[in-house]
């Protein structure tokens, strides 16, 4: 999902300045991506048959639910409706939380989730983005432009786009003329393969066999697509590459306004969807970046407008339509931080998978923040969650040198303007630290020269701008030794060259210029080997597992240094990185797999099983041969050729050992011999490094690279070898033993692969396994330290943004006079609540994250009143039956919120608090203020994406159900449920009690 032109420059290698936390930056709002008052609500398919209180039988579940809302005088707005066999419901906005309580109490409501805002990454940077003005006069110039007497006959690439019509009806034709230059003696040994990554995933050989995905339907749920681009077929509809689709939003949709849908997914204002479509299905083109499945039928569903924002209820609608349109594969290069399999999009993705649709979904791009930080909907069960590995090469072009040296690779996917040019340098002295940061007096007009500058001293943009305003249009940036190259699309020809090549060219320069040594540019793409990080998981690729210990990612594919197709309005091509772009490789490969099986009876689990079990495991780094943890790489790097023609078929494709509390040490592996020969298979345990997710002695997560230790699990096999007749199957029993001697407070993630090999093939199968050598129940949730924020938290901030005094503060709720709670989560939680309690109430327990323990005496009259208000009343057996029936159709999270909103007085809630073991509900709260469920932990913002803390602002003196809070002195009670915790047990929550504050309206 990440898109950046600054490629392969890892934060770990060069460092990044992330602004330190400052209270002054905290906004006095309730944080998060939630769209206020808007919910995705799931209906019972029989709601119109069983709804009580209806004066006549409703015609549909939707009518039944809406009718009940009207009978309760509940104001509501319907945004989207869902009506298929996988999901029945609607996206609804309600005015108040009391309306939500009414909604959740209705007959026929099964589940709900709050609607979230989703954002695509920033657009790839193009030369058009910089808009540097043309200088009217040169800076520090004392000479005219150099005019070379030599003229180049070298070839170049010319791309022309002509359009007719306007707006959405505009039709464009892109034509490209490529003239291949004659090879010189020095460059004849280099191969011109373009920039395809297909050979890295085995797709090149699959294409050679004749399989290009024909007959398979692939849906792309993304921004729209510029289908006028020639590599994307140039047209839309029957007989075209982009066969169908839908625009759910329109150009102007920003996630907050009303969408304007239509039947045409054309989009030339946001590039993301065009890029993903090209990676899946592009025709052959001048850069060699043919799609993985160029003969598949593509369906584009536009859910993002021109600013790259949408809401997940619209994404859900697109997923439903793709299913209704009968697609085989869905590519979703979108997502949001979740950490759980429980988000609505993840739940629906799980249902789509179970219904026969293959889903390839991006893992996310916040791997820098460490483990246990997965994305939704990629956390859905059965989906293929796709991470990124670094490309094995850097796209470059080759320049020839008149002396016979070289050729010289320069790191730009585009060729420089064709021709032959002399050299210019501001200085040849390597000790000058700020070469190119200023223009020396007497510098000539640099037009017609290739200007050489060394890296360092100031920004790349400043160096490039200085040359540009001095008339230069070609520059070489000389890289420092052993440093990852990077790319820029400045409005001049810009590319890095190696220190060695730069020093050679500088050695040819005397008195700033060289006319005897020239450089010639022509179209000559070259794959420069990536010796820094090639075939290693990308630094940004999300690290799992989910908080409920499902594998994330499932698999990885190349996702950096990707040369891609852009809309014609955006200069046609660019270079990008992110799991957004590794995911289409898996979606396209899934299409190849389905096509190889005749396009029939290929279930998603078979596709995922084949891709995972034949993937290639990756090392920790190019200098560390330890196998990377499965939480980082999943099953390894995609190899579609092996997936289509395996040596052995294994099941399951991943082994989940859980934590020590729910350890699943006994596992079964099914082996099938797909060949026509007798084959002997050998089984072995190939352990990977054990990742230490949390810092030693601290309840804070480790950033990437997450430290690994050599402690490993052991495996005993019921038999270490199996001889199978053709087409026969056998089951092997495995007994795992978790590693010992580890610090459970670091939440060690141990992992490895069960390898199945044979003597007659190099095409081995391997099944990843993963477990946690600790109890997830013990993972800390609330951060009580000052480690990151610099203040003890949670805490209250007053109207000035300062930490409120521990002795209390009065708020008038006028002119921003209201309290804001700031907190951090060092672990994910299935349920977080903020309730209001009396300042002197007896809670019945001691909050374990309260920095100031109150010794105030209990006020018996207040406690008695609260108990009486929530007293358990005796009820008839018939009413008990009705309540049991009502609860049987609800999810646990729905019942939990409903009871919070009604202070446990709603139907079905009395039994929720009545049991002797239900210590949670016996706490005498005055009312609920805030509830959210299945939320991820906070980060330390090492990736610069925020999410490093959360806030809750009590902007109005009201409970969540809309009732007013009377003037008085109160405290906030925050409770966060531990992973795997019991919602009814108070001891399974971490709790914080605030300092007192006064409401004085």
Q: Is the pLDDT of residue 849 over 90?
A: no
Work out the pLDDT band at 7, boundaries 50, 70, 90. Answer: very low
Q: For residue 261, what pLDDT band results from cuts at 50, 70 and 90?
A: very high
Which of 62, 79, 272, 809 does the annotation list as catalytic? 272
Percentage of the chain with pLDDT > 90? 68
- CA angle 800–803–804, rounded 5-degree value: 85
222 is catalytic: yes
Q: How confident is the model at residue 868 (pLDDT cuts 50, 70, 90)?
A: very low
Mean pLDDT computed over 215-240: 97
CA dihedral 808, 814, 817, 818 (to 10 degrees): 80
CA 581 to chain centre: 11
744 touches 661 (CB < 8 A): no
Least confident of 76-85, 388-397, 658-667, 695-704: 695-704
What letter does residue 569 receive in the DSSP assignment? G
Greater confidence (422 vs 122) lies with 422
Is there a catalytic annotation at residue 580?
yes
pLDDT in tens, 30-62: 888 888 889 999 999 887 775 444 444 678 999
pLDDT of residue 761: 74
Average pLDDT of the chain? 86
Higher pLDDT, 12 or 251: 251
What does the pLDDT average to over 151-180?
39
The answer to whether residue 915 scores a pLDDT higher than 70 is no
Looking at residue 311, what is its pLDDT? Answer: 95
Shortest CA distance to 675 belongs to which of 738, 724, 737? 724
**Between 192 and 94, the higher pLDDT residue:** 94
- Segment 793-825, tens digit of pLDDT: 999 999 999 999 988 899 999 999 999 999 999
Nearest-5° Cα angle at 939, 771 to 343: 65
Q: What SS3 class is residue 100?
A: helix
The pLDDT value recorded for residue 858 is: 29
Res 147: pLDDT:
53
The b-or-e profile of 865-898 (16+ CB within 10 A means b, else e) is ebeeebeeeeeeeeeeeebeebbebbbebbbbbb
Average pLDDT of span 383-403 = 97
**What is the pLDDT at residue 269?**
95
Banded pLDDT at 674 (limits 50, 70, 90): very high
Long-range contacts of the stretch 73-80 (C-beta < 8 A, 24+)? 74/99, 74/102, 74/103, 75/99, 76/103, 79/38, 79/313, 80/313, 80/314, 80/316, 80/317
Task: Please report the pLDDT score of residue 845 as a whole number.
Answer: 85
pLDDT on residue 213: 98
Q: Among residues of the chain, what percentage have pLDDT more than 70?
A: 85
Which residue in the list 105, 541, 580, 910 is annotated as catalytic?
580
Question: What per-residue confidence (pLDDT) applies to 908?
Answer: 62
**pLDDT-derived band at 525, boundaries 50, 70, 90:** very high
Higher pLDDT, 999 or 790: 999
Of the residues 44, 99, 111, 222, which is catalytic?
A: 222
Name the more confident of 2 and 780: 780
- Looking at residue 186, its pLDDT comes to 32
Least confident of 5-9, 295-299, 841-845: 5-9
Res 344: pLDDT: 83
Q: Mean of the pLDDT values across residues 182-191?
A: 34
pLDDT at 884: 52
pLDDT category, 471, cuts 50, 70, 90?
very high
CA distance 317 to 246: 11
pLDDT higher for 919 or 733? 733
The tally of CA atoms less than 13 A away on the side-chain side of residue 697 is: 1
pLDDT (mean) for 17-35 = 79
272 has catalytic annotation: yes
- Return the CA Rg of the chain: 31
């Amino acid at each position: 999902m990440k898109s950046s032109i600054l490629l392969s420059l890892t934060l770990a290698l060069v460092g990044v300045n992330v602004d330190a936390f400052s209270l002054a930056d905290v906004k006095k709002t309730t944080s998060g991506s939630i769209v206020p008052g808007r919910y995705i609500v799931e209906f019972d398919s029989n709601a119109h048959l069983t709804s009580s209180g209806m004066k006549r039988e409703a015609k549909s579940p939707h009518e039944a639910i809406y009718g009940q809302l009207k009978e309760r005088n509940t104001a509501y707005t319907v945004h989207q409706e869902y009506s298929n066999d996988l999901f029945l419901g609607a996206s609804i906005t309600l005015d108040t939380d009391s309306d939500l309580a009414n909604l959740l109490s209705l007959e026929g409501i099964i589940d709900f989730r709050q609607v979230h805002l989703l954002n695509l990454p920033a657009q790839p940077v193009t030369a058009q983005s910089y808009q540097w003005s043309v200088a009217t006069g040169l800076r520090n110039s004392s000479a005219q432009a150099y005019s070379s007497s030599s003229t180049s006959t070298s070839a170049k690439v010319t791309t022309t786009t002509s359009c007719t019509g306007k707006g959405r009806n505009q039709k464009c034709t892109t034509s490209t003329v490529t003239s291949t230059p004659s090879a010189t003696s020095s460059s004849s040994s280099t191969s011109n393969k373009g920039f395809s990554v297909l050979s890295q995933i085995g797709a090149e050989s699959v294409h050679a066999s004749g399989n290009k995905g024909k007959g398979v339907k692939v849906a792309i749920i993304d921004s729209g697509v510029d289908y006028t681009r020639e590599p994307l077929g140039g047209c839309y509809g029957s007989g075209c590459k982009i066969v169908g689709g839908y625009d759910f939003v329109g150009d102007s949709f920003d996630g907050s306004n009303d969408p304007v849908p239509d039947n045409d997914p054309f989009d030339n204002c946001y590039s993301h969807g065009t890029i993903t479509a090209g990676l899946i299905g592009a025709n052959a083109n001048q850069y060699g970046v043919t799609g993985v499945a160029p003969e598949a039928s593509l369906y584009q569903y536009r859910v993002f407008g021109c600013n790259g924002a949408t809401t997940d209820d619209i994404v859900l609608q697109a997923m439903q339509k793709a299913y209704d349109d009968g697609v085989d594969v869905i590519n979703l290069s979108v997502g949001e931080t979740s950490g759980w399999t429980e988000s609505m999009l993840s739940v629906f993705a799980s249902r789509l998978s179970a219904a026969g649709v293959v889903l390839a979904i991006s893992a996310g791009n916040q791997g820098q923040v460490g483990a246990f930080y997965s994305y939704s909907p990629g956390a859905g069960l059965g989906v293929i969650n796709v991470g990124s590995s670094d490309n094995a090469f850097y796209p470059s072009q080759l320049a020839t040198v008149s002396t016979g040296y070289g050729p010289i690779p320069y790191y730009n996917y585009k060729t420089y303007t064709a021709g032959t040019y002399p050299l210019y340098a501001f200085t040849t002295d390597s000790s000058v630290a700020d070469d190119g940061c200023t223009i020396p007096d007497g510098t000539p007009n640099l037009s017609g020269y290739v200007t050489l500058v060394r890296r360092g001293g100031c920004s790349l943009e400043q160096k490039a701008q200085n040359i540009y305003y001095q008339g230069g249009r070609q520059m070489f940036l000389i890289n420092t030794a052993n440093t990852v190259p990077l790319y820029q699309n400045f409005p001049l020809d810009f590319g890095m060259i190696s220190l060695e090549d730069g020093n050679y060219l500088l050695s040819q320069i005397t008195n700033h210029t060289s006319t005897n040594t020239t450089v010639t540019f022509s179209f000559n793409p070259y794959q420069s080997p990536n010796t820094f990080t090639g075939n290693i998981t990308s630094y940004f690729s999300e690290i799992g597992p989910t908080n409920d210990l499902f594998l994330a990612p499932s698999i990885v594919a190349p996702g950096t240094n990707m040369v891609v197709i852009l809309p014609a309005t955006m200069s046609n091509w660019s270079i990008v990185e992110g799991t957004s772009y590794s995911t289409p490789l898996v979606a396209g490969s899934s299409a190849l797999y389905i096509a190889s099986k005749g396009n029939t009876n290929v279930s998603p689990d078979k596709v995922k099983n084949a891709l995972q079990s034949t993937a290639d495991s990756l090392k920790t780094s190019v200098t560390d041969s330890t196998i990377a943890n499965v939480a980082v790489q999943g099953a390894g790097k995609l190899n579609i050729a092996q997936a289509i023609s395996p040596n052995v078929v294994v099941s399951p494709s991943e082994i989940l050992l859980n934590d020590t509390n729910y350890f699943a040490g006994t596992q079964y592996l099914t082996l099938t011999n797909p060949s026509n020969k007798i084959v002997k298979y050998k089984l072995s345990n190939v352990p990977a490094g054990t990742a230490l997710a949390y810092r030693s002695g601290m309840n804070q997560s480790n950033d990437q690279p997450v430290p690994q230790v050599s402690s490993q699990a052991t495996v005993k096999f019921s038999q270490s070898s199996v001889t199978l007749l053709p087409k026969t199957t056998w089951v092997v029993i495995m007994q795992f033993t978790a590693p010992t001697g580890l610090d459970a407070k670091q939440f060690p993630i141990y992992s490895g692969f069960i390898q199945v090999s044979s003597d007659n093939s190099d095409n081995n199968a391997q099944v990843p396994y993963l477990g946690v050598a600790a109890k997830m129940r013990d993972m800390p949730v609330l951060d009580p330290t000052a480690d990151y924020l610099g203040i003890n938290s949670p805490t209250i901030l007053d109207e000035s943004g300062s930490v409120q005094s521990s002795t209390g503060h009065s708020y008038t709720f006028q002119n921003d006079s209201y309290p804001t709670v700031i907190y951090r989560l060092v672990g994910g939680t299935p349920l977080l609540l903020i309730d209001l309690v009396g300042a002197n109430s007896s809670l019945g327990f001691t909050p374990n994250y309260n920095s100031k323990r109150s010794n105030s005496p209990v006020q018996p009259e207040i406690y008695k009143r609260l108990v009486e208000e929530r007293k358990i009343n005796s009820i008839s057996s018939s009413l008990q039956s009705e309540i049991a029936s009502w609860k049987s159709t609800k999810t646990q999270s729905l019942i939990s919120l409903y009871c919070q909103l009604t202070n446990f007085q709603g139907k079905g809630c009395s039994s929720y608090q009545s049991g002797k073991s239900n210590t949670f509900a016996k706490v005498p709260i005055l009312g609920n203020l805030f509830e959210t469920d299945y939320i991820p932990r906070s980060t330390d913002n090492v990736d610069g994406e925020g999410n490093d803390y959360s806030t809750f602002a009590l902007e109005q003196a009201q409970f969540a159900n809309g009732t007013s809070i009377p003037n008085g002195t109160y405290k906030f009670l925050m409770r966060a449920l531990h992973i795997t915790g019991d919602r009814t047990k108070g001891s399974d929550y971490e709790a914080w009690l605030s300092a007192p504050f006064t409401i004085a309206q």
